[in-house]
Amino acid sequence: MASTNDLKNGMVLKLEGGQLWSVVEFQHVKPGKGPAFVRTKLKNVLSGKTVDKTFNAGVKVETATVDKRDMQFSYMDGEYFVFMDMQTYDQLHVDRKTVGDAANFLVEGFEATVAQHEDEVLFVELPAAVELTVKETEPGVQGDRSTGGTKPAVLETDHQIQVPLFITTGEKIKVDTRTSDYLGRVNS
């Protein structure tokens, strides 16, 4: 248990029916009249939905212990992604639904943060940007640019993104894992 006065960004709360909510932002408010309160923006750990919630100052809220570990993606086992804890060498099977959009950027050997609560995997978080190889893309054609100078490219993970016309097959590029945006070339 913690007081609403102790809230911090990233803290995970257990609210209404045992649902886990992560504190995205919070603000202590002391109005001229009336009691103080805490205005928060919470994100559901499982669904990703965000809500605004107001608590009275000093109210007790239940906190949840979320164990975040850096793990290395090892291989696919059917529909499961197998991650290895780099300290203990334990392997963890995580289903595709839990991995979510991170699956678009996972290559064997990549490190990710795996969050667990009471031995249940909540989510898999990748770094903000990863380096991937372009598996295939059309040659860039100069001239009519109705698309703003981009073309589709398939990455080594079979995920398709938009890249500038000068990118060629086999090039290593940096990709934003949150938006699937091209960030730049990787110098070898």
The domains found in the chain, sorted by start residue, are 2-63 (2.30.30.30), 67-125 (2.40.50.140), 129-185 (2.40.50.140)
* Residue of 42, 57, 61 whose CA lies nearest to 5: 57
Strand ordering across the sheet containing 129-137? 160-164, 150-155, 129-137, 172-176, 182-185
pLDDT at 13 over 60: yes
Beta carbons of 21 and 63 less than 8 angstroms apart: no
136 or 18, greater pLDDT? 136
pLDDT at 48 over 80: no
pLDDT at 160 over 90: yes
What is the SS3 assignment for 10? Answer: coil
179 or 148, greater pLDDT? 179
Single pTM value for the model: 0.71
**Which tens digits make up the pLDDT trace of 57-112?**
888 888 888 888 899 999 988 889 999 998 888 899 998 888 888 889 998 999 99
Q: Alpha-carbon distance 57 to 168, whole Å? A: 57
Beta carbons of 152 and 139 less than 8 angstroms apart: no
HEC letters along 116-174: EECCEEEEEECCCEEEEEEEEECCCCCCCCCCCCEEEEEECCCCEEEEECCCCCCCEEE
